[in-house]
Amino acid sequence: MTININNLNNQTQVNQNKQAEVKQQAAQTANNNAQVKHVARDSVSLTAQAQQFKELEKKAASAPVVDQKKIAELKQAIQSGEYKVDAQKLMKNMLAYEFDLLEG
């Protein structure tokens, strides 16, 4: 870009310089907009193991709360010899638990 120093007040040259600046700014803006459109988007995917872990967390959250009073009563009954084990009921519950493990 050349400037005519003999005629600094030449309005034509000033206008040409302004037009060149406007064109350059427009080109820069268009370039910036194009770059924004091509920005890669982040994505997240969970592995099968993470999904299983999430399901286990849900099950744990929905599990019943431990009844400390009942535990204390059972401990007392065991220590005093009052607690009797029903072998048939125990075996039935153990088998049900094992079958649940095999199915799940």
Convert the pLDDT of each residue in 88-98 to its tens digit: 999 999 999 99
pTM of the model: 0.31
Query: What does the pLDDT read at residue 89?
Result: 95
The predicted-structure confidence for 42-94, as pLDDT tens digits, reads as follows 788 888 898 899 999 998 888 888 889 999 999 999 999 999 999 999 999 99
Query: What does the pLDDT read at residue 30?
Result: 73
What number of other Cβ atoms are within 10 A of residue 67's Cβ?
A: 10
